[in-house]
Amino acid sequence: MEAFAEIKPGKRYLTRIYLGIMLWFVGRAVQAAAKVDKEVAKEFENMPDEYTFCLGAFPNGPYMIVGKDAIGRVRYKGGNPDKHDIHLEMGLKSLGNLFTMFTFRESTPVANARDRLFVCGDVPNACACVRVLDIVQVYLLPKPIAKLAIKRYPRWSFKRHTLDRALVLIRTLIGF
């Protein structure tokens, strides 16, 4: 039989680097928002201790893992799901789907509606995680871009839009 060279899919290094940075940033922002924002804190309060969720691209990542520790603090737990007991997995079906979402060409709700997103885990906590991610995106992104990412841009107080946003951004950058 004639030998054929095996065709391997491209590695898409730049895409993976971009998504890795975005997920790292969002993961740390969730940790920061849980300390600054009462609504985010309340969502996590309703989850059991050590509850952990991940968001990423199926099958090979990148991922971000966020969860509560044994005393209930919200922590960004890195990007390797194999090291953690994951209770809720939210995955885009391909790297390309995740890239489309994180370049704001498709919002999270639209990606979900188009069956690009799969959720493995309990539904009430998945709803809570989506609400947390929506809030974090409003903190991180300018309004015109955030409106592309979520269903409805919220009407927040001036303090929440300014002081709380500054605190979330600072805490995200320094990891505190």
Q: Which residues bind another protein (CB under 8 A)?
A: 109-110, 112-116, 118-128, 130, 134, 147, 150-155
Tell me whether strands 63-68 and 52-57 are parallel, antiparallel or unpaired: antiparallel
Closest approach of another protein to the CB of residue 135, in Å: 11
Which is closer to another protein, CB of 30 or CB of 130?
Answer: 130
Cβ 148 to another protein shortest distance, Å: 12
For another protein, the closer of residues 24 and 112 by Cβ is 112
Nearer to another protein by Cβ, of 78 and 94: the residue is 94
How far apart are CB 150 and another protein at their closest, in Å? 7
Q: Judging by beta carbons within 10 Å of its beta carbon (0-12, 13-18, 19+), is residue 7 exposed, middle or buried?
A: exposed
Q: How far is the CB of 4 from another protein (least distance, A)?
A: 31
Tokens of 137: 């995106």
Q: Which residues of 103-113 are buried (b: 16+ CB within 10 A; e: fewer)?
A: eeebbbebbbe
Q: How far, in Å, are 11, 112, 141 from residue 104 at the CA level?
A: 22, 14, 11
* Nearest to another protein of 97, 172 (CB atom): 97
Shortest distance, position 2 Cβ to another protein, whole Å = 37
Total number of residues shown for the chain: 176
Comparison of 78 and 109: residue with beta carbon closer to another protein: 109
**Backbone region of residue 104 per phi and psi (left: phi > 0; alpha: psi in -120 to 50; beta: other values):** left
Minimum Å gap between C-beta 138 and another protein is 10
Task: Please give the helix or strand (H or E) that residue 67 lies within, else none.
Answer: strand 63-68
Q: Return the number of the residue (113 or 173) whose C-beta is nearest another protein.
A: 113
Q: In the numeric block, which tokens belong to residue 5?
A: 């060279």
Amino acid at 5: A
